[in-house]
Structure 1
Amino acid sequence: MYLLEISLRSLSYIDKTQLAEIAHSIRPITRLHVSSSRLSTTTATFSSKKVNEETIFFDGGAHYGDLIEDLLLGFTLLWLPLTLATVLRAFYLRYRFTNLRVSVISGLTGHDLSDFSYEVIKDVQVVPRFIAEWGDIIITLKDGTKVDLRSVSKFREIAKYCLSMAEKPTILKKTGPKGF
């Protein structure tokens, strides 16, 4: 606020009463959040209502076991493209589940962000991998979009959490083991 007063005082056409009115009309920023695939910020103003705090349930990337498995199988030329995809997924992909939304952060700098709230979740399916140490989560949204989250650790707990946070929870559909 001090910097604002200095910059406004440098203007000769603003007197002290106008400066006081401007200073009182400015409200502090209480939260920043991302609302789309681009990083854009919105400000929430101070109010008498208590703002929901965003708490993180799970924040992590692909499971390290998937990376180790594909690196071992990568010695064969046939498995090499899958190994490359797993390495890129391990370094450039993060999943974040909070009490308000699901976020998938990807890209070299982390600027590719896809997030959605639990209210738009229609169905959640899990597919265990290896010996059920990690798995895939397929989230179907109400508009028919399917979001595939690959190699997630604690995938069963996360799927149950997503269903419990959705408006109308449905029964968790389990598919048989695939792969190894």
Structure 2
Amino acid sequence: MAVLRNLACALALALTASAAGAAVRPRSTLSRGGFAMRSRVASPALVAMSTKSKEAAPAPPPEVTFFEGPPSWTEAVVPAVSIITVLGIVPFAAAISRQVWTRYKITNRRLSIQSGWGGNDLVEVVYRDITKVNFIFRFGGLAGDMVMQLSDGAKLEIRSMPDFEKNYDYIMSQVSEACREASNFKKLSKE
């Protein structure tokens, strides 16, 4: 009978604490006849902390898109010219499929790359994970390629980014100061 009473008390306390939205912590372990259970009791300090965090937590700023679009059209120029040969059909088809299925999105919070067959692969990177950025211009400076080293050792490649100077400067303005130093950052755009 005492086990049922203890079980009922523990259940009532747990329900009361969860209904109030409070965090609960283990208070004691009750054991009778090989049956062990933990009762959970809401701590007044934790209740106060949970209500303060709900009141004082400011809303994060809204996500603002800086750039969204496909790779640069210049990527398809050389494959289009090579279509004269029979062998040029394959690179041209690959370039056109990248134009259709690849999308870059640069926001104030993250960098997203949608690619793959049918555009089904999505890679998103937050700026704090980027540790170093290397780049090279393509097609006389109309586009550019970037390779980003991430904090976990992975590398992310962005090929044929249009409006490269503006997009590169914006990405570098969002990364950490340590990343800018490691990348030897110098502003590219004239604005």
Q: TM-score range by the shorter chain?
A: 0.5 to 0.7
Question: Computing the radius of gyration over CA atoms, which structure comes out larger, 1 or 2?
Answer: 2
Q: How is 1:158-173 mapped onto 2 (pairs within 5 angstroms)?
A: 158-168=167-177, 169-170=180-181, 171-172=184-185
CA distance in 2 between partners of 1:109 and 1:131 (Å): 30
CA distance in 1 between partners of 2:94 and 2:175 (Å): 31
How far residue 103 of structure 1 moved from its aligned partner, in angstroms, is 0.3
Q: How is 1:1-180 mapped onto 2 (pairs within 5 angstroms)?
A: 49-107=58-116, 110-168=119-177, 169-170=180-181, 171-172=184-185
The amino acid that maps onto 1:52 is P
Higher RCO (Cα < 8 Å, 6 or more apart) = 1
The one-character-per-residue Cα deviations of 1:27-50 (angstroms, maximum 9, x if unpaired) are xxxxxxxxxxxxxxxxxxx96622
How far residue 144 of structure 1 moved from its aligned partner, in angstroms, is 2.0
RMSD: 2.4
CA distance in 2 between partners of 1:109 and 1:87 (Å): 12
The amino acid that maps onto 1:98 is T
CA distance in 2 between partners of 1:157 and 1:127 (Å): 14
CA distance in 2 between partners of 1:139 and 1:75 (Å): 36
CA distance in 1 between partners of 2:89 and 2:100 (Å): 17
Q: TM-score, normalised by structure 1?
A: 0.63
The amino acid that maps onto 1:172 is F
How far residue 79 of structure 1 moved from its aligned partner, in angstroms, is 3.6
How far residue 89 of structure 1 moved from its aligned partner, in angstroms, is 0.5
Instruction: Give the fraction of aligned pairs with identical amino acids, expressed as a percent.
Output: 28
CA distance in 2 between partners of 1:80 and 1:172 (Å): 39
CA spacing shift, 1:78–1:162, aligned 2, 3 Å:
same
* Aligned residue pairs, count: 130
Q: TM-score, normalised by structure 2?
A: 0.60
Partner of 1:42: none
Gaps of 5+ in 2: 1-18, 22-53, 187-191
Q: Tell me which protein shows more helix as a share of its residues.
A: 2
Q: Indicate conservation of the 8 Å contact 2:80/2:88, yes or no.
A: no
How far residue 77 of structure 1 moved from its aligned partner, in angstroms, is 3.5
CA spacing shift, 1:74–1:146, aligned 2, 3 Å:
farther
CA distance in 1 between partners of 2:67 and 2:93 (Å): 25
Secondary structure of the 1:74 match is helix
